[in-house]
Every structure is written in C-alpha cells, then in structure tokens.
Amino acid sequence: MNQEIQLRRPESSENSSKFELIAFDLDGTLIELNIPFDEIRRRLGIEKRFILESIMEESDVQRRQKMFRILESYELRCAMEARPAYYAVELVNGLDVIKGVITRNSRKSAEIVAERLGFNFDFIFGREDAKPKPSPEPLILALRMFDVRPSRALMVGDFLFDLLSGKAAGTKTALILTERNKEMAKSFIHHADYVFESLKELADFLEVG
C-alpha cells in the first residue's frame, strides 16, 4: 500500500461513535459491480461518456424516456443477480445508526437488492428522488429527513462522485479501495477523509461486530 493511502487511515484516537447517519453507495461498494456499462453504452449509442448524464442531456423527451427504460432494464436484471461485497451485510445490519443507500440507479433496483440480500436500510434514495451524485442533494435530503447535522454523517463509496457528494454536503467521506478501483482512485483519493481496503476495515473503525 502506498504512503498516501496510509496517511489517510483514521487515527486510533478518533471517535467513530460521532456518526449518527451513514450513507452508502451501492454498486461497487455494498455489492459487487455487475452492471455492463460498455454494453449499455453501445445499446444507447453513447461512447466514453457517463451514461446517466448522457441520458439526462438528451433533448428528445421520448428518446430520453426510452433510454431510461433500457437503462433500468439492465439495472433490474443485475439487481436480481447481485452479490454482496465482503462483509457488507454484516456491516450494514450491525450498525446502530441511521443507515441507507444513495445510488445513481433506480430506487426500484436498489430496493430489490436490499430485499434479496437482507440489507436493513433506513432509507434508499435513487435517481428519481434527487439530482444524482456527484450532487449533494440526495445526501442533504437524508440529513434533513432524519434531522442530522452534516458533521455527524459519513458518506461511503468507491468512486469520485461519492466523495464529491459527501464533501459538498459537508459530511465526512470514506473511500473503499478494491482491486477494480485502486488505480483510478489515485486521482481522487484526496477527497476522502478516510480510506479502507475493505468494508471489514470500515466495520472495525465503526466498532461493528
């Protein structure tokens, strides 16, 4: 592990109990990433761009709606095949705080994942509920819903958008490193207050289990 990541470990003296609300990204964080982004881009005629932003920028209303239907069909299929990341269920269900998911996917697909895999969430926000990450809007919505100050909340994810959303909302941010993201993470690790190599490490910091 490189020095930069080591320096972003939480200090042993830090009080993890300060968090009253923890929001998690879904794909790549709590579940193994299984959405075929390249296939979806080809199906939608999108090249080397973020899928959701490309759809939202489509000026033809009917085409935009069709693109959303195609995207959600993939999300729902993948939700039915989703597998939890290592220690994800134990972490989420062991937390004695308000906890939930903020995803760029449809809410329905996230609800399927939660029910299938046994996650006990207090909230699930999809792209229908607020402007999607990297916007802070869904996280701010969660904070207001449960009357939690930003300083008492943590946003956990595996990608730049998760960290930007948390920072803009005024919360602490935690980056989960995986084999898939560790190289790209070098470009945005500076946005993370904490960095963990697994959800088990995060669970230990949060004193779960």
Where residue 85 falls among pLDDT bands split at 50, 70, 90? very high
- Closest by CA position to 11, among listed 193, 203, 198, 208: 193
pLDDT of residue 16: 62
Phi first, then psi, for residue 66 (nearest 5°) are -65, -40
User: What tokens appear for 52 in the block?
Assistant: 């959701």
pLDDT of residue 88: 98
pLDDT in tens, 153-175: 999 999 999 999 999 999 999 99
| Arithmetic mean of pLDDT, 57-75 | 95
pLDDT of residue 59: 94
Q: Is the pLDDT of residue 91 over 90?
A: yes
pLDDT of residue 149: 97
Q: Is residue 196 within 8 Å of 202, Cβ to Cβ?
A: yes
pLDDT of residue 17: 67
Q: Is the pLDDT of residue 152 over 90?
A: yes
Q: How far apart are CA 191 and CA 171, in angstroms?
A: 11
pLDDT in tens, 111-139: 999 999 999 999 999 999 999 999 999 99
Give this prediction's pTM: 0.90
| Arithmetic mean of pLDDT, 199-209 | 93
